[in-house]
Amino acid sequence: MLISQSVQEKLINEINEHFQDALVKHEVLYDMFTITLKREAVAPLIRHLYNHEEFKFKFLTNLCGLHYPNQKNQELGLMYQLHSFENNYRIRIKTFFPINDPVIATVTDIFNAANWMERQEYDFFGIEFKGHPNLKRILNVDDMTIFPMRKEYPAEDQARKDKNDIMFGR
Amino acid sequence: MSKKQTKEITESTIILPEDIKKEYTILNLGPTHPATHGIFQNILKMDGEKIVEAESTVGYIHRAFEKLAERKAYYQITPYTDRLNYCSAPLNNLGWHMAVEKLIGAEIPKRVQYMRVIIMELARIIDHIICNSVIGVDTGALTGFVYMFQQREFVYDIFEEICGARLTTNIGRIGGFERDFSPKVWKKIEQFLKEFPKVLAEFESLFVRNRIFMDRTIGCGAISAEKALSYGFTGPNLRATGIDYDVRVMNPYSSYEDFDFIIPVGTQGDTYDRFMVREEEMKQSLSIIRQALDKMPEGPFHADLPEFYLPEKQDVYSKMEALIYQFKIVMGENDVPVGEIYHAIEAANGELGFYIISDGGRTPYRLHFRRPCFIYYQAYTEMIKGAMLSDAILTMSSLNVIAGELDA
């Protein structure tokens, strides 16, 4: 899945040329070339790569939220994974932002598939996508007040004693 | 007697179709409707029998796998993957094992890879059997379904012989298999390869050139290639629109590069094309299984991975090291390396991806499943707009949306 060294360099040059200071870092994680960007640049860059004559990243494979409570002012994050069928390039784009300001531009105007993917990340991480046509909870109940995939909500402790459940036992 | 009054016909008294006040009906299809094969709710705005607008609600069987997985050791997550696409559970299991093996950097023997290919292709066949025979049921032909399901049962017998379970299989282990295939398994696979093509040919003769079936499915629920790409379609549904994307060819895993097979594509992206693509894929899967059987290499049935693969029971009783490993594996106390991986396999419905972030602990720090159903099901409301209600049912079954994979 890893793209070659020359393509990686070309991609970095492309980003530096069109989006100054947007690139935070780039690395190869196992078999995927990963770029970390500032959040303002994410949606414009994805659109740029979508329309790009050579790269043609026309497919959004995956989108998922991340939460690192210990990163000061960079607690929440998003991971986008793009795929160019024609060249068989796969890249991963990451971005991080503070938890009290979890707003990022939507990519639903580029990919229809992003609609539910973004709703899912809103549902679980509380990331707000600016410009999303229908941003509401998708898998959880509508009147839920928390964002359950955040790390401050641990999955239930198997050994907890405060529940008295006669029917199913504990 | 009063004189009957005749009204003069003027232009103002003629009622034109657009003057009739339209009344729409709201129809709540689901969440538990027998025709939708799963828990999906669609609220349809109907004009007579035509769908004007639709809105789907999902999440009725959401079980928070991604959250649960953050507490579980890697080998304990395998049974959760069973419950994603439960029509072809072995595909999910083996995909998960391969993802973990990629993370820990394990080298898998050729024999294990070939055995996996056989199981994965069998699972693909039984998934396509469900989808295609249910398309038949939804068009009113129950006969094919019954005969095809007999074959599906037979594949379940093979799985049972390999791992002891039928539907939610939990097949294999990280690093390989718990035991080699027994002679009975090899015999049964051979028997399946011999018998299934006959049933498939019979099934095709019932449907493929059947006038009623063709009238019913051609042009029903069509989607263009551009739309399908934008909506994130993968698998047979994308290939039916004419795009030959297949993970097995694009990013081969588990030695798929050793096999010779064709990616069938359609042209229209309608229900008939999806049906035909799945039919052809079953034949290709049979050919892959045949090749794997013929080329099956000798060797061990598991990788040399003492930290993740359970030792022989005899050794556990007699060797200290094996006992320690057994204890650590069962308690899930083996740390995996820090890393971040994405592993994709071609599941029966499309690209099934596992995105794992490991911080070096016993459990994944973050796990995300790329579920093909969840991503392409959002196109459904657009695909059924303007169609008849009965076509909407047919479109859903031809997309092969599985509730378990949709909601995870």
Residue A36 placed within a domain: yes
pLDDT in tens, B306-319: 889 999 999 999 99
> Does B59 sit within 8 Å of A140, measured CB to CB?
yes
Residue A146 lies in a domain: no
Q: CA-nearest residue of chain A to B57?
A: A138
- A90 contacts on B by Cβ (under 8 Å): 251, 342
Whether pLDDT at B363 is above 70: yes
pLDDT at B61 exceeding the cut of 80: yes
CATH number assigned to the domain comprising residue A29 = 3.30.460.80
Q: Which two tokens stand for residue A107?
A: 């990519």
Q: Which domains occur in chain B, in start order?
A: 21-57 (no CATH), 65-407 (1.10.645.10)
pLDDT-based confidence at residue A170 (cuts at 50, 70, 90): very low
Count how many domains chain A has.
1
Given an 8 Å threshold on Cβ–Cβ distance, is B251 in contact with A148?
Answer: no
B9-57: per-residue pLDDT in tens? Answer: 666 667 777 777 778 999 998 788 887 778 889 999 998 899 999 999 9
The residues that bridge with B57 in the sheet, in sequence order, are B41
Q: Please check whether residue B369 is in contact with residue B62, taking contact to mean a CB–CB distance below 8 angstroms.
A: no
> Do the chains contact at A112 and B379, CB–CB below 8 Å?
yes
Instruction: Give the gap in angstroms from C-alpha A13 to the nearest C-alpha of chain B.
Output: 25
pLDDT at A54 exceeding the cut of 70: yes
Mean residue pLDDT of chain B comes to: 91
Asked if residue A110 is part of any domain, the answer here is: no
Q: Is the pLDDT of residue A168 over 70?
A: no
- Asked whether residue A113 is assigned to any structural domain, the reply reads no
DSSP secondary structure letters along B108-174 = PPHHHHHHHHHHHHHHHHHHHHHHHHHHHHHTT--HHHHHHHHHHHHHHHHHHHHHS-SSS---SBT
Identify the pLDDT of residue B12: 66
Nearest partner of A121 among A91, A82, A151, A78, judged by Cα = A78
Contact A59 B340 (CB under 8 A): no
3-state helix, strand and coil shares in percent for chain A, rounded to the nearest 5: 25, 25, 50
Chain A residues whose CB is inside 8 A of the B67 CB are 148-149, 155
pLDDT at A154: 81
Residue numbers of the domain that contains A97:
5-102
ipTM > 0.90? Answer: yes
| 3-class secondary-structure state, position A33 | strand
Confirm whether A147 is domain-assigned: no
- Point out the residue among A62, A140, A148 whose CB comes nearest to the CB of B355: A62
* Residues 6 or more apart whose Cβ sits within 8 Å of residue B307: B104, B325, B328, B329, B334
| Overall average pLDDT of the B320-326 stretch | 93
pLDDT the model gives residue B321:
93
pLDDT per position as a tens digit, B79-107: 999 999 999 999 999 999 999 999 999 99
Mutant choice from A3, A62, A117, A119 vs B, greatest count of B C-beta within 10 A: A62
Domain membership of residue A14 (yes or no) is yes
| Residue B255 C-alpha, separation from nearest chain A C-alpha, in angstroms | 15
How close does chain A come to B90, measured CA to CA in Å?
A: 22
- How much is the average pLDDT of B143-153? 92
Residue B262 has pLDDT above 50, yes or no: yes
Would you place residue B152 in the very low, low, confident or very high pLDDT band (cuts 50, 70, 90)? very high
CA A23 to chain CA mean position, Å? 16
- Residue A128 is assigned to a structural domain of this protein: no
Residue ranges of E strands in B173-215: none
Residue at A121 is within a domain: no
Q: B231–A112: do the CB atoms touch at under 8 Å?
A: yes
Average pLDDT over residues B126-149: 91
Give backbone dihedrals phi and psi of A53, rounded to 5 degrees, phi first: -70, -35
Of B62, B366, B375, the CB nearest to A140: B62
Mind listing the pLDDT tens digit for each residue in B213-244?
999 999 999 999 999 999 999 999 999 999 99
Closest C-alpha among B112, B158, B175 to residue B301? B112
Give contacts of B378 with chain A, Cβ < 8 Å: 112-113, 115-116
Portion of chain B with pLDDT greater than 70, in percent: 97
Q: Which residues contact B35 (CB under 8 A, 6 or more apart)?
A: B138, B393
Task: Give the A-side interface with B, CB within 8 Å.
Answer: 1, 29-32, 34, 58-62, 64, 66-67, 79, 81, 85, 88, 90, 92, 111-113, 115-117, 120, 124, 138-141, 148-149, 154-155
